[in-house]
Amino acid sequence: DGGITQSPKYLFRKEGQNVTLSCEQNLNHDAMYWYRQDPGQGLRLIYYSQIVNDFQKGDIAEGYSVSREKKESFPLTVTSAQKNPTAFYLCASTQFLGTKNIQYFGAGTRLSVL
């Protein structure tokens, strides 16, 4: 099945630990995105990547890092510098068709702090 796979579904982080969230897509989409969602809030953009080996900071990039070594994969690392990491993290991808940029989302990863 074509789609976006995020893993794990639930993740727990200990104090001072870095954790990595996986996002894989088999839609052959060029661009990929990471969003953070806090309870009762909309989505806020963390990082995005338009092509392999290139990515840009979004609105709330501090405490996070990403890589884009393959078109299919866009992992997000939540570093120990992110002091409030508890949130729902969503990955999305899109195939640019001019301004018709329709984003498709994975099922998300819920991150909690132990």
Partner 1 sequence: GIQVEQSPPDLILQEGANSTLRCNFSDSVNNLQWFHQNPWGQLINLFYIPSGTKQNGRLSATTVATERYSLLYISSSQTTDSGVYFCAVLNAGGTSYGKLTFGQGTILTVHP
Q: What one-character DSSP code corresponds to residue 27?
A: S
Contacts by 42-47, CB closer than 8 A, 24 or more apart: 43/90, 46/76, 46/89, 47/76
Cis peptide before 8, with omega less than 30 degrees from 0? yes
Residue from 43, 52, 60, 61 touching partner 1 (CB under 8 A): that is 43
Stretch that binds partner 1, among 20-28, 35-43, 62-70, 78-86 (CB under 8 A): 35-43
Strands 10-13 and 109-113: parallel
Residues in region 49-68 near partner 1 by CB under 8 A: 50, 56, 58
Give the nearest distance from C-beta 91 to partner 1 in angstroms. Answer: 11
Asked if 102 interacts with partner 1 (CB under 8 A), we say yes
Residue from 11, 27, 105, 113 touching partner 1 (CB under 8 A): that is 105
Stretch that binds partner 1, among 11-19, 68-76, 78-86, 102-110 (CB under 8 A): 102-110
Asked if 26 interacts with partner 1 (CB under 8 A), we say no
Among the listed residues 79, 89, 83, the one whose alpha carbon sits nearest the alpha carbon of residue 17: 79
The two structure tokens encoding residue 15: 């104090």
